[in-house]
């Protein structure tokens, strides 16, 4: 599987607000990758995805890996970077000076500071998992399939099909009315 041409896709109606994505993300980025051991780790593992709530609707939010990413543009030390076109936006901890400019410009608020405040923290799209042909941890953990990792082509095709179907239904309904 390649990261290029794919995107995290959220089907909001399916989200049960279980916070499984948050736990799976923290676990994936823990030392032990084992739940029972990770809860005792110091520093504690941190999730890069967060479940936001708007008027009772749960919305899992993580880095969108913008193609023209303001965080990459604004980073003074090139700590925020891409390894190639269409690849996820990654952060080089060694280069990050903790200036928080990325946090200022991110339209989604999904870049945070590590405990201690010296280095910025964000979703890496589980690039290591994708390279091993596995879904990002949050997607793999989602029990209802609310979080998905389809190709852009899959997303648009299904959207077109749904749009076409609703147009057909509208047309049929208006014919019947006449």
Q: Is 68 in the site for other proteins (CB under 8 A)?
A: no
Choose the binding region for other proteins from 64-72, 125-133, 156-164, 170-178 (rule: CB under 8 A). 156-164
Q: Beta strand pairing status for 112-113 and 9-10? A: unpaired
Q: Is 119 in the site for other proteins (CB under 8 A)?
A: no
Q: Is 88 in the site for other proteins (CB under 8 A)?
A: no
Q: How far is the CB of 158 from other proteins (least distance, A)?
A: 4
Choose the binding region for other proteins from 23-31, 55-63, 93-101, 102-110 (rule: CB under 8 A). 23-31
Among positions 159, 167, 169, 170, the unique one binding other proteins when judged by CB under 8 A: 159
Choose the binding region for other proteins from 56-64, 67-75, 121-129, 134-142 (rule: CB under 8 A). 134-142
Q: Is 54 in the site for other proteins (CB under 8 A)?
A: no
Among positions 3, 72, 106, 141, the unique one binding other proteins when judged by CB under 8 A: 141
Q: Is 90 in the site for other proteins (CB under 8 A)?
A: no
Q: Would you tell me how many other CB atoms lie within 10 Å of the CB of residue 119?
A: 17
Return the HEC string of the chain.
CCCCCECCEECHHHCCCCCHHHHHHHHHCCCCCCHHHHCCCCCCCCCCCEEEEECCEEEEECCCCCCCCHHHHHCCCCCEEECCCCCCEEECCCCCCCCCHHHHHCCCCCCEECCCCCCEECCCCCHHHHHCCCCCHHHHHCCCCCEECCEHHHHHHHHHHHHHHHHHHHHHHHHHHC
Residues that bind other proteins (CB under 8 A): 9, 11, 13, 18-20, 22-24, 26-27, 35-36, 38-40, 44-47, 135, 139-145, 148, 150, 155, 158-159, 161-162, 165
């Amino acid at each position: 599987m390649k990261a290029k041409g794919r995107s995290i896709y959220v089907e909001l109606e399916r989200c049960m607000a279980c916070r499984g994505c948050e736990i799976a993300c923290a676990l994936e980025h823990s030392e032990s990758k084992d739940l029972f051991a990770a809860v005792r780790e110091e520093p504690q593992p941190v999730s890069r995805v967060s479940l936001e709530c708007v008027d009772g609707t749960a919305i899992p939010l993580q880095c969108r890996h913008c193609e023209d990413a303001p965080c990459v543009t604004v980073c003074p030390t090139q700590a925020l970077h891409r390894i190639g076109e269409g690849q996820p936006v990654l952060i080089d901890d060694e280069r990050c000076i903790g200036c928080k400019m990325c946090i200022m410009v991110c339209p989604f608020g999904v870049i945070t500071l590590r405990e201690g405040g010296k280095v910025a923290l964000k979703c890496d799209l589980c690039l290591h998992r994708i390279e091993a042909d596995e879904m990002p941890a949050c997607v793999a953990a989602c029990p209802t399939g609310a979080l998905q990792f389809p190709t852009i082509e899959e997303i648009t095709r299904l959207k077109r099909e749904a749009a076409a179907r609703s147009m057909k239904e509208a047309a049929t309904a208006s014919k019947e009315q006449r």
